[in-house]
Structure 1
Amino acid sequence: MTMTSLAHAEIDALLSRLPKGYDLSLERIRTLVAGLGNPHLKLPPTIHVAGTNGKGSTSAFCRAILEADGTSVHVHTSPHLVSWHERYRLGRADGPGRLVPDAVLADAVARAAKAVGDMPITVFEILTAVTFLLFSEHPADAAIVEVGLGGRFDATNLIERPAVTVITPVSLDHQSYLGDSVELIAAEKAGIIKPGVPLVIGAQTEPVATEVITRIAARNRAPVAIYGQDYFAFEERGRLVYQDGEGLIDLPLPRLSGRHQISNAATAIAALRKGGFAPGDAALEAGMTSVEWPGRLQKITSGPLFAAVPDGGELWLDGGHNPGAGAAISEVFANLEDRVSRPLFLICGMLNTKDPTGFFEAFNGIARRVLTVPLRTTDAGIAPQELAEFALDTGLDALAVDTIEAAIRTISNDWSEPPAPRFLICGSLYLVGEALDTSGLAPQ
Structure 2
Amino acid sequence: MVNNDEYLKITKQLDKGWRVIDENRVPFLRKVLGWLGNPDQKYKIIHVAGTNGKGSTGEMLNQILQASGYRVGKFSSPGLYTYREQVMINSTYITPSEFVREFNKILAVLKAHDLDMQTLSFFEWWTVISLSYFGSQQLDIAIIEVGVGGDLDATNAITTSLLNIFTKITYDHQDILGDDLVTIATAKCGILRPGAHVISYSGQDAEVQAVINERAQAIGAKLYDGPRPIITTYKVSPAGTNVKINDRLEVFLSLSGHFQLLNLNTVLQAVNVLRQLDYQISDAAIKDGLGQANLPGRMEYDAKNNIIRDAAHNPDGIEALVASLKSWRLPFKPTVILGILRDKNYMTMLEELLPYVARIIAITPANPSRSLTADELAAQILEMDDNVEVSIADDPTAAITVARQVRESSDAMIVITGSFYTLRAVKGIKF
Alpha-carbon distance between aligned partners in 1 of 2:52 and 2:385, rounded to the nearest angstrom? 25
**1:197–1:344 CA distance, 2 compared to 1 (3 A):** same
The CA distance in 1 between the partners of 2:123 and 2:233, in whole Å, is 42
Please tell me whether the aligned partners of residues 52 and 168 of structure 2 are also in contact (alpha carbons under 8 angstroms). yes
Given the superposition, is the C-alpha separation of residues 163 and 404 from structure 1 closer, same or farther in structure 2, using an over 3 Å criterion?
Answer: same
Q: 1:351 corresponds to which residue?
A: 341
1:426 maps to 2:417: yes
2:302 counterpart residue number: 300
- 1:112 and 2:88 are equivalent in the alignment: no
The one-letter code sitting in structure 1 at the alignment partner of 2:131 is F
The answer for the alignment partner of 2:239 in structure 1 is none
- Taking a change above 3 Å as real, the CA distance of residues 343 and 144 of structure 1, as seen in their structure-2 partners, is same
Partner residue of 1:177? 176
2:359 — aligned with what? 369
Structure-1-length-normalised TM-score: 0.85
Does 1:50 pair with 2:44?
A: no
Q: Distance in 2 between matches of 1:369 and 1:58?
A: 32
Which residue of structure 2 aligns with residue 386 of structure 1?
A: 376
> Offset at 1:4?
5.1
Is the 1:349–1:382 Cα contact (8 Å) retained in structure 2?
yes
Percentage of matched positions with identical amino acids: 25
Deviations 1:378-437 (A, max 9, x none): 5432211122234345436344321334234335436665x5222111011122133333
Shift of 1:180: 1.1
Question: TM-score, structure 2 length as denominator?
Answer: 0.88
Other structure's SS at 1:438 match: coil
Deviations 1:81-116 (A, max 9, x none): 02111111024xxxxx41112101111122323433
Paired with 1:151 and 1:278, the residues of 2 have a C-alpha distance of 30
CA distance in 2, matches of 1:378, 1:135: 34
Q: 8 Å contact 1:194–1:220 — kept in the other structure?
A: yes
Partner of 1:232: 229
Q: Quick one: which amino acid aligns to residue 271 of structure 1?
A: A
- SS of 1:41's equivalent? helix
Once superposed, what is the RMSD of the aligned Cα atoms? Answer: 2.4
List alignment gaps of at least 5 residues for structure 1: 92-96, 307-313
Matched residues in 1 for 2:231 and 2:367: separation?
Answer: 39
Alignment CA distance shift 1:207-1:348 (3 Å): same
In 2, Cα distance between equivalents of 1:150 and 1:7: 28
Structure 1 residue runs of 4 or more that deviate by more than 4 Å after TM superposition:
414-417
CA contact (8 A) 2:103 2:129 kept: yes
Secondary structure of the corresponding residue to residue 189 of structure 1: helix
Q: Which moved more, 1:277-286 or 1:119-128?
A: 119-128
Deviation per CA, 1:334-357: give whole Å up to 9, x if none.
22223xx41212211122321211
SS in 1 for 2:194: coil
Question: How many pairs were matched up?
Answer: 411
Is the Cα contact below 8 Å between 2:232 and 2:245 reproduced in 1? no
Is this contact kept in 1: 2:30–2:158, CA < 8 A?
Answer: no
Q: Per-residue deviation at 1:323?
A: 0.7
Instruction: For residue 66 of structure 1, give the secondary structure of its aligned residue in structure 2.
Output: helix
For the 8 Å contact 1:347–1:424, the answer to whether it is kept is: yes
Q: Distance in 1 between matches of 2:30 and 2:153?
A: 12
Q: Offset of 1:321 from its aligned partner? A: 0.3
AA of the residue aligned to 1:371:
I
> d(CA) in 2 for partners of 1:273 and 1:110?
40
